[in-house]
Amino acid sequence: MSGSKKTGAGLGAKLWTSLIIFGFFGQVAWIVENMYFNVFIDRTMPLTDNRFSSVAISVMVAASAITATAATLIGGIWSDRKGNRRHFISYGYILWGLIIMSFALITVDNFTAMGIKNVETATIVAIMVVVIMDCVMSYVGSTANDAAFNAWVTDNTAGPYRGIVEGVIAVMPILAMAAVFGGLDFLTQDTYLAPDGTEVTGWVEGGTKIATGNWTLFYVLLGAIVLVVGVIGIFTIRDNKDLAPNPRSDYRDIIYGFRKSVIKANKNLYLAYTAMCIVGIANNSFMTYLIMYAERTLGYPNGSYIIPVAVIIVTSAIASVVFGIFMAKMKDRRKLNLPLLGVYFVGAIGMLLASPVCFEGQTPIAAVCVAGFILMGANLCITANLTATVRDLTPPDKAGMFQGIRMVFWVLIPMVIGPALTAIIQQFSEPSGSYDMNGNPIYNYTPYMFLIAAVIVLFAVIPVVLLNKAKPEEMTPHVLKEESEAAASDLTGESVEREEE
């Protein structure tokens, strides 16, 4: 099921088109959730003590991760039973887009207009609604993208092409970030009254916020884009011809991947899951708060944080694509993981130093770009490599089911633990010198979140070393099985022909 002879021979233009379109715009939707909902709460729903915004964000991210994991577990089995990925993807993206658009209605002003006169209470209610709607969006998005789309990719890729595909997919989040940052971030910028009395777009040290950005247009535009992509998918995306309904896939099997016998039978798969889980915790300790950190802590006002972000995105994306091509030519790509973890560690320490820890005032963009490239480049390459390994080790007849297990390690654990660690140390952060619309001080985000990332990623060395000790044939068991069955089929065919002669 995971790959036909045609798939092994070449992916084809239509397959690549669907893969790129749905891979990219799915990540655009996730960027809105994983980064801009955080900014949305931080900028438009300030609590009396701004430091508690990080706690609210951490709770939202954790709730979303739990929901997304449950959705993927259920959605993966559902798509396996139906033998259909395309409808889950296409119609899922349409609903996904509508839900994104609905966030335009969630404002503190709307809740005060509904009768909640106390601003602090209205703010808390608004945050609660955002958390609930984020969970709804996560359920739909995970069913469409994490369950159906990822299973579809596994269905339609095999052999050396898997490394190239994973290299491209690994770049999608960073490209989506660039597209949203570069094209629509200006809509999210607040307006401040600077100390000299002039109005300034974007954060300014010592200023007072007097207006929030145009979040209504931001959500409507992005939601509409995702919706349109879903409509296009109805007519373009196609399932692998070998995909068939699997009635043996049962909802009681949600716990399948957590059974001791399954883990034991697929020990290398779970080692790869564990390695990616640890890297994910490291990533989420800083990615969740990255925009606010760049703006306030590094001192890049007026959306100027787009400059280092763009440089880092372009350079690390190029590095990831080149790495994907290089990875496809390697007989044993496991050997790359350990050095990449070392590079990631260096990049995280570099980001810690490229901050007020070493610089006063605005941190030099060059320092952030170099450290950011090292960190994100290593992150993308590790992700591509480990994801390709996971696809190699995933049982083909249970591709949908294993997407949920993958989510536990990829999303649930990292997004619960990573942001919470930073939220804890954020309580000891320093005021930025600016104030929100209610006169409360706005706090910086701590650069020590990168130290957390550096320490955590070291633990990934353990599963990576254990993976490196596995025999080469143990790393591609399903590919070898398919080749053996194909050879047996050919021999049977030859025997029949001889008997007929």
* pTM of the full structure: 0.80
Residue among 448, 460, 273, 461 nearest 348 (CA) = 448
Query: Each residue of 140-192: pLDDT tens digit?
Result: 999 999 889 988 988 888 666 776 787 788 778 878 988 898 899 999 999 99
Q: Write phi, then psi, for 394 (nearest 5 degrees).
A: -80, 125
Residue 479: its pLDDT value, please? Answer: 58
Greater pLDDT, 73 or 126 = 126
> Binning pLDDT at 50, 70 and 90, where does residue 2 land?
very low
pLDDT tens-digit map of 215-230: 999 999 999 999 999 9
When mean pLDDT is compared over 223-232, 282-291, 302-311, the highest value belongs to 223-232
Residue of 324 and 103 predicted with greater confidence: 103
Gap between the Cα atoms of 408 and 415, Å rounded: 10
Over residues 442-447, the mean pLDDT reads: 92
Sequential DSSP letters for 21-76: HHHHHHHHHHHIIIIIHHHHHHHHS--SSTTHHHHHHHHHHHHHHHHHHHHHHHHH
Mean model confidence pLDDT for the chain: 86
Where is mean pLDDT largest: 94-98, 233-237, 495-499? 94-98
Query: What local confidence, expressed as pLDDT, does residue 481 receive?
Result: 55
pLDDT at 369: 95
User: What is the reported pLDDT for 474?
Assistant: 81
Per-residue pLDDT reduced to its tens digit, 265-284: 899 999 999 999 999 999 99
Residue 198 has pLDDT above 70, yes or no: yes
DSSP 288: T
Mean pLDDT computed over 328-336: 80
| Per-residue pLDDT at 398 exceeds 80 | no
Min mean pLDDT across 63-72, 76-85, 117-126, 211-220 is at 76-85
Across the range 443-466, mean pLDDT stands at 96
Residue 136 has pLDDT above 60, yes or no: yes
Q: Judging by DSSP bridges, how do beta strands 199-201 and 431-435 pair with one another?
A: unpaired
pLDDT at site 149: 92
Binning pLDDT at 50, 70 and 90, where does residue 243 land? confident
28-32, 261-265, 372-376, 418-422: least confident range: 261-265
Amino acid letter for position 401: M
At 415-440, the pLDDT tens digits run 999 999 999 999 988 888 888 888 88
Share of the chain above pLDDT 90, in %: 48
Q: What is the pLDDT of residue 159?
A: 63
The predicted model gives 32-46 an average pLDDT of: 91
158 conformational bin, left if phi > 0, alpha if psi -120 to 50, beta if neither: beta
pLDDT of residue 403: 65
> What domains can you pick out in the chain, each with its CATH number?
5-240+248-470 (1.20.1250.20)
Determine the number of helices (DSSP H) and then strands (DSSP E) in the chain: 21, 5
Whole-number Å distance between alpha carbons of 174 and 28:
9
Q: Is residue 12 helix, strand or coil?
A: coil
Per-residue model confidence (pLDDT) at position 352: 97
Q: Taking phi first (over 0 means left), then psi (-120 to 50 degrees means alpha), and beta for anything else, what does residue 279 get? A: alpha
The residues pairing with 441 across neighbouring beta strands, listed in sequence order, are 435
* Residue 476 vs residue 495, higher pLDDT: 476
Task: Give the pLDDT of residue 94.
Answer: 97
In this structure, the number of other CB atoms found within 10 A of the CB of residue 232 comes to 16
> What pLDDT is recorded for position 370?
96
